[in-house]
């Protein structure tokens, strides 16, 4: 479609064109109900089938079985920052947090309101240019859980090898890189992800949680903030974000059709290499923020020699049919978010644009 731009926004972000077209095709009459998916009841069989399929597809892609539940909640990852300690940080226990950027800091801030916390590792001293090495992480005695953020959209870093802490429950915010590559999901007791980066539209948050954790929430916290409320009702305790769950399921179908997580990783490595090569071959004109061994497959962050050139780059990229390349307001610079749905051709276009911009201004 010639009127669509190349969308590098960090979230809400690019969706697969196949998914958008499939939703468009059946928008007025979903599954021969004579109604739009936007109109049908969440208590109806057609929607319950969407809900069940989405959970099954997520578990299939992650290689998980009946010992896990997938919940579709509202409130974004930011609500999970509070729900997790409210459910799992009980009196007398300590929750360990590993800090790798702004979002892990926000998660820690919420946990501190609930109970005792411990910073088990941090790369803040280097302005979050990397993720910690396993030997740098120092856990507290018998932590209730360890929390990590797998990918850092603002700084452009990603855990290349996800850590493991034996019997200690491991929780992860994977909002910006879930399903971008194969990994051992069974190492995690809880994974959560706001959908608007790599799973679908804004409005729904996927929570993948071990069944035993989802069934034993404290009775002292509000009903809507208890995981067992949502697990026992298949995420249908109240009206869910039905259209967002429907689109998320279409994205899961699309990932399966592309060949699953192995195919996603190969495609994502190809895309990221195109942009990182443009940075590395620029003789210092482009400066990547992340250390090379912590570079993200999803968010490529970089600076130019001065802010005037960065403004010029952003403006000229829009004129060239690209959008969303300005860096996060807290750090400035430039950022290309290249989630699963970004085509390889989009990264090729950006790479060529970067090389030509460097030739003219370097």
**Residue written as token pair 């970067």:** 354
Spatial distance between the Cα atoms of 223 and 231, rounded to a whole number of angstroms: 12
Pick the closest to residue 203 from 39, 70, 76 (CA basis): 76
Residues that constitute the known binding site for L-glutamate:
43
Please confirm, yes or no, whether 197 is among the known catalytic residues.
yes
The active-site residue, picked from 59, 96, 159, 173, is 173
Tell me the H-state helices in the chain. 17-25, 45-62, 76-88, 102-114, 211-214, 227-231, 242-258, 260-280, 307-319, 344-361
Spatial distance between the Cα atoms of 98 and 261, rounded to a whole number of angstroms: 26
Residues that constitute the known binding site for pyridoxal 5'-phosphate:
77-78, 103, 153, 173, 196, 238-239
Around 358, how many Cα atoms within 13 Å sit in the side-chain half-sphere? 19
Please confirm, yes or no, whether 173 is among the known catalytic residues.
yes
The active-site residue, picked from 59, 197, 271, 326, is 197
The active-site residue, picked from 59, 96, 103, 326, is 103
* Structure tokens, 293: 């061994």
Long-range contacts of 161-168 (CB under 8 A, 24+ apart): 161/134, 162/187, 163/98, 163/134, 163/137, 165/139, 168/96, 168/139, 168/143
Please confirm, yes or no, whether 159 is among the known catalytic residues.
no
Residues that constitute the known binding site:
43, 77-78, 103, 153, 173, 196, 238-239
324 in Cβ contact with 9 (< 8 Å): yes
Task: Give catalytic residue positions.
Answer: 103, 173, 197
């Amino acid at each position: 479609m010639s009127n669509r731009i190349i969308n590098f926004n960090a979230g809400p972000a690019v969706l697969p064109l196949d998914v958008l077209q499939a939703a468009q095709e059946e928008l007025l009459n979903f599954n021969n109900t004579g109604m739009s998916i936007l109109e049908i009841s969440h208590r109806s069989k057609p929607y319950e089938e969407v809900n069940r399929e989405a959970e099954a597809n997520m578990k299939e892609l992650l290689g998980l079985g009946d010992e896990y539940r997938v919940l579709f909640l509202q409130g974004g990852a930011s609500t999970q920052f509070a729900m997790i300690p409210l459910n799992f940080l009980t009196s007398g226990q300590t929750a360990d947090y590993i800090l790798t950027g702004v979002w892990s800091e926000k998660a820690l801030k919420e946990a501190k309101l609930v109970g005792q916390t411990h910073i088990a590792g941090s790369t803040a001293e280097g302005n979050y240019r990397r993720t910690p090495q396993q030997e740098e992480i120092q856990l507290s005695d018998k932590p209730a859980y360890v929390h990590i953020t797998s990918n850092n959209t603002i700084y452009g870093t990603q855990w290349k090898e996800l850590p493991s802490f034996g019997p200690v429950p491991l929780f992860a915010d994977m909002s910006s890189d879930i399903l971008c590559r194969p990994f051992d999901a069974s190492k995690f007791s809880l994974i959560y992800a706001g959908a608007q980066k790599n799973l679908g539209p804004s409005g729904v948050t996927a929570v993948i949680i071990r069944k035993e954790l989802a069934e034993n929430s404290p009775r002292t916290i509000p009903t809507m903030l208890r995981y067992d409320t949502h697990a026992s009702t298949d995420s249908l305790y109240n009206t869910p974000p039905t259209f967002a769950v429907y689109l998320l399921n279409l994205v899961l179908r699309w990932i399966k059709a592309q060949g699953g997580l192995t195919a996603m990783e190969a495609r994502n490595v190809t895309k990221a290499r195109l942009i990182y090569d443009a940075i590395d071959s620029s003789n210092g004109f482009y400066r990547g923020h992340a250390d090379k061994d912590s570079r993200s497959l999803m968010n490529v962050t970089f600076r130019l020699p001065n802010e005037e050139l960065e403004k010029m780059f952003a403006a000229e990229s829009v004129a060239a049919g690209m959008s969303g390349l300005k860096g996060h307001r807290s750090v400035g610079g430039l950022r290309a978010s290249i989630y699963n749905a970004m085509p390889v051709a989009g990264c090729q276009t950006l790479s060529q644009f970067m090389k030509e911009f460097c030739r003219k201004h370097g």
